[in-house]
Amino acid sequence: MIKTISLLPGVVLRCMQDRRFKQGCLSVQMVRLMHAGESAMNALLPSVLLRATKQYPDLRAITAQLDMLYGAAVGPIVRRIGDYQTVGLYCGFMEDRFALPGDQILGPMIDFVREVLLNCAVENGHFLPEIVECEKKNLIATIESERNDKRAYAMGCLLKNMCRNDSFGLPRLGEKEQVAAIEPKLLYDHYQKILQESPVEIFYVGSFDAEQVAALMKPIFESIDRCYVSLPAQTGYHMSESVHESESMDVAQGKLCMGFTTPITNRHEEFAAMQLFNTIFGAGMTSKLFMNVREKMSLCYQIGSGYHGSKGIVTVSAGIDFDKEDVTRQEILAQLAACCNGDISDEELNAAKEAILSSLRATHDSPGAIEGYYATGALSGMGMTPAQYMEKVEQVTLSQVVDAANTVKLHSSFFLKGVSA
């Protein structure tokens, strides 16, 4: 069971006391509204913070300290959750009860987090230029690698077109031109603003109880001169005009992406039915899209759908021959129509339920999976435990799935084709 403690205005600690694992985890996320003007800076920040501090002036010193903590690991967090972008750290570490007698891990681990957050390496009121430049290059390389993933690139183009009135269309890491323009002073000033204003979500999984963790974490944020600014609640999709677009590129295989909207988000009672519809429609190897469009009709090499529950968006991605665009598009819509007409067997419904239930059971298989489910769920507004979610899935009827399917409407599409197509 999750226990939630408000440490300070805008600073929330969520703890799951769980003694099943040899490792615990701790995440600290500062929450921002997804915004084109700062998304690249937010994406860059955690990596810069983890390069050097006053006490640990380089990566060698940081690595040595983590080795002293029985091989603890710390990495950056940059998540997009609906209207929000989170910036922070994820720590994985061995539980104190498995350390040598007299050794402590959680306390020193939180001291290390404090050092990273509050004592980052600074000179003359800005981050160290050599560190910022190095991490900018790394981030630009990551952004460029995503462009080289043609499936991800095509999906990004679809969402950008589809969400022109919605921040969900913004790239999670920003644009490489925005990254290149970031200066050390600008980034440092932005970080100070984040520390002072942003809601903070802290999540812990391990054997310590919530009060013990709260006593260790609260002084970090008490030492900051905070003027907390609350964020608006998550919203559904903000409608814009439909866009059906294609682009030519030197690719061997076409990438067809289609975007659909639904008023149902993960904050609605019909969420479980919507998730089941998506699973039956296109999520997995027993789905209608896979069994019919790929296996039976051989129209594509790969196909699948995804439901973005925080926004109420359903997407379909298919890898196809360049001359198969129209027929593939028509068959995808035909499979949606089949769902809307109730052409769903008991076997399909039961298989979809078991797929979702199996996925939910896995959320308690590791500290990282627990953190991912609850930390994301708290910010998306879903607010259900896996057990509560499983109960809702089991209760969904075929008619409720059909009702959910009938809310799904085609909005936009994007086709990445070859230069000679």
270 contact partners, CB below 8 Å, separation of at least 6:
264, 400, 403, 404
Instruction: Give the pLDDT confidence score for residue 421 in this predicted structure.
Output: 58
Beta strands 302-308 and 313-320, pairing class: antiparallel
The two three-digit tokens of residue 43, written as one number: 């994406």
What φ, ψ does residue 74 adopt, rounded to 5°?
-135, 130
H runs (alpha helix) in 100-183: 106-118, 129-148, 150-162, 176-180
Q: Which residue has the tokens 């009938």?
A: 406
Are 199 and 31 contacting, i.e. CB atoms less than 8 angstroms apart? yes
Domain boundaries in the chain? 2-222, 244-418
| Sequence-distant contacts of 399-404: CB under 8 A, at least 24 apart | 399/342, 400/270, 400/273, 401/273, 401/276, 401/277, 401/280, 401/339, 401/344, 401/349, 402/339, 402/340, 402/341, 402/342, 402/344, 403/270, 403/273, 404/262, 404/264, 404/270, 404/273, 404/274, 404/276, 404/277
Exposure string for 167-202, b = 16+ CB within 10 A, e = fewer: bbbbbebbebebbeebebeebbebbeebbebbbbbb
pLDDT in tens, the chain (421 residues): 899 999 999 999 999 999 999 999 999 999 999 999 999 999 999 999 999 999 999 999 999 999 999 999 999 999 999 999 999 999 999 999 999 999 999 999 999 999 999 999 999 999 999 999 999 999 999 999 988 899 999 999 999 999 999 999 999 999 999 999 999 999 999 999 999 999 999 999 999 999 999 999 999 999 999 999 999 999 999 989 999 999 999 999 999 999 999 999 999 999 999 999 999 999 989 999 999 999 999 999 999 999 999 999 999 999 999 999 999 999 999 999 999 999 999 999 999 999 999 999 999 999 999 999 998 999 999 889 999 999 999 999 999 999 999 999 999 999 999 887 5
Interhelix angle 325-340/271-281, rounded to 10 degrees, is 140
Strand, coil or helix: 288: helix
Strand, coil or helix: 262: coil
Exposure string for 310-327, b = 16+ CB within 10 A, e = fewer: bbbbbbbbbbbbbebbee
pTM to 2 decimal places:
0.94
- CATH class of the 244-418 domain in this structure: alpha beta
| Nearest Cα residue to 335 out of 318, 320, 351, 323 | 318
Are 234 and 378 contacting, i.e. CB atoms less than 8 angstroms apart? no
Residue 234 DSSP one-character state: P
Residue 120 DSSP one-character state: B
Distance CA 394, CA 175 (A): 42
| Nearest Cα residue to 43 out of 198, 152, 200, 172 | 172
The CATH fold of domain 2-222: Cytochrome Bc1 Complex; Chain A, domain 1 (3.30.830)
Distance CA 323, CA 421 (A): 8
The amino acid that residue 83 corresponds to is D
Are 334 and 363 contacting, i.e. CB atoms less than 8 angstroms apart? no
> What is the distance of C-alpha 124 from the center of its chain?
35
302 contact partners, CB below 8 Å, separation of at least 6:
151, 294, 317, 318, 319
The two three-digit tokens of residue 40, written as one number: 């690249």
2-222 matches 244-418 in fold: yes
Phi-psi region of 280 (alpha: psi -120 to 50; beta: other; left: phi over 0): alpha
| Nearest Cα residue to 280 out of 121, 393, 360, 382 | 393
Distance from the first to the final alpha carbon of the chain: 55
Q: Which contiguous run of DSSP H or E holds residue 81?
A: strand 73-81
| Nearest Cα residue to 276 out of 398, 169, 119 | 398
